[in-house]
Amino acid sequence: MKAIGIILAGGKSAKLKELCKVRAVPAMPVGSSYRAIDFTLSNMSNSNINKIAVITQYNSRSLHDHLSSAKWWNLGSKQGGLFIFTPFISNENNSWFRGTADSIYQNINFLERSNETYVIIASGDAIYKMDYHDVLNYHIQKDADITIVCKDLTGTTKDPHDFGILQCDDDMRMIEFEEKPLEPQSNLASLGIYVVKRTFLIKALKTIVPDGRYDLVRDLITRYRKKIKVYGYKYDGYWNTLNSIKSYVDVNMDFLDKNIRDMFVKEGQFIETKPKDEPPAKYNSNASVKNALVGSGSILNGYVEKSVLFRKVFTGENSSIKNSVIMESSVIGKNCVIENAVIDKEVTISDGKKIIGTPDEPVVISKGSVL
């Protein structure tokens, strides 16, 4: 593919509360085996993009750990490969990334030293499966300066007030763009995935950033919308993002749906992740598991229903887990009741404890807690 990739993985999310205290959103565990960034990273690798930069800033340790080797995504190569950019101090510059445009501008060498014609920019916290060839072909065919991948929210549970909303003409050329509008004029939401010509991006960044304008959306796309050709590309497939505790639970529960799960794990190319070498899950004689994902290395003695268990989870006898997400290496004791909860990694719940939330407001137990 004639494109390089940039994954914006800097974001923190206040709405994810405790879950994001210890990790960046792209490092959030998803679907029993994965991290959020695996989806965008695999999409890029599967679209034959073999030079990818991950730009990260907030709480990046867990992300560094996950990306410590590029080979799992077929990016362990001399040509191209995986680049991880964090803020750094130099003679000219000692600031954190001040915005998305600034974060790319501070690493503009990456763009200048490439010779691929196009750049795919995507955020690292969305869950979807996309072949970027389709949007790139569309971009070329429309002769656009920037193409924004967007989704019609009609009929979904997503609220347009939470998104950047595009208004397009009949040809899908963008006329207006409003970030999280008070009164949305359309249902067409930006998914934070952009296609742009590399030379155009370099020129644009060199114009806006020294001028004190640091945001890709506000200072380039919105401000320049009439001067340049911005097109919307409608994407109809599954797409979800982690922007609240509830959406985090929903995304995980989506993997219990056979169609969605098969789309990710069985059809076409694989979503790749860093292997962890755990043994098979062990179901003991008192285990009873219905409609659940179980991570490898788990040992189950209790009841589990409509839940997602990550790797190395232990459940004690007579414990009951429903509608919950239990992350890696957590231990649930005997006779516990867990309902509508998100149990972060390495939590220990002692015998007989009850942790009960509601579907709309799941309880969150933060990483490493001992209850």
List interacting residues with another protein (CB under 8 A): 31-33, 71-72, 255-256, 258, 261, 264-266, 270, 272-273, 275-277, 279-297, 299, 308
CB of 291 to another protein, least distance (A): 5
The smaller minimum CB distance to another protein, of residues 113 and 266, is found at: 266
Token pair of 335 as six digits: 């006779």
Torsion of CA 272, 277, 280, 286, to 10 degrees: -110
**CB contact set of 247 (below 8 Å; sequence gap of 6+):** 240, 241
Cβ distance to another protein smaller for residue 279 or 352? 279
Within 8 A by CB and 6+ apart from 254, the residues are 127, 238, 240, 260
How would you list the strands of the sheet with 299-300, edge to edge?
299-300, 314-315, 331-332, 348-349
User: Nearest approach, Cβ of 139 to another protein (angstroms)?
Assistant: 31
Token representation of residue 51 = 């030079």
CB 16 to another protein: min, Å: 21
Q: Which uninterrupted H or E stretch holds 233? A: strand 230-234
Query: How many other C-beta atoms are found inside a 10 Å radius of the C-beta of residue 81?
Result: 15
Q: Which is nearer to another protein, 271 or 365 (CB)?
A: 271
Half-sphere exposure of 335 (CA within 13 A, CB side): 3
Nearer to another protein, 218 or 282 (CB): 282
Among residues 71 and 206, whose Cβ is nearest to another protein?
Answer: 71
Alpha carbon distances (Å) from 270 to 46, 66, 72, 261, 365: 8, 18, 11, 11, 31
Closest CA to 344 of 315, 318, 370: 370
Least Å distance between CB 170 and another protein?
41
The alpha-carbon radius of gyration of the chain (Å, integer) is 21
CB of 70: closest distance to another protein in angstroms?
12
Comparison of 222 and 286: residue with beta carbon closer to another protein: 286
CA distances from 133 to 6, 139, 140, 237, 240 (A): 15, 10, 11, 15, 20
Which residue lies nearer to another protein by CB, 28 or 208?
28
The CA-based angle 254-260-263, given to 5 degrees, is 150
CB-nearer residue toward another protein: 22 or 256: 256
If the CB atoms of residues 200 and 283 are measured against another protein, the closer one turns out to be: 283
Between 78 and 266, whose beta carbon lies closer to another protein? 266
Buried b (16+ CB within 10 A) or exposed e, 4-35: bbbbbbbbebebbeebbeebbbbbbbbbbbbb
Closest distance between another protein and the C-beta of residue 101, in Å?
Answer: 36
Q: How far is the CB of 108 from another protein (least distance, A)?
A: 33
Q: Residue 113 carries which side chain, given as an amino acid letter?
A: R
Are 139 and 195 spatial neighbours (Cβ–Cβ below 8 Å)? yes
CB 283 to another protein: min, Å: 5
Minimum CB distance to another protein, residue 304 (Å): 8
Please, what is the minimum distance in Å from the beta carbon of residue 78 to another protein?
13
Task: List CB contacts of 318: < 8 A, sequence separation 6 or more.
Answer: 286, 302, 303, 334, 335
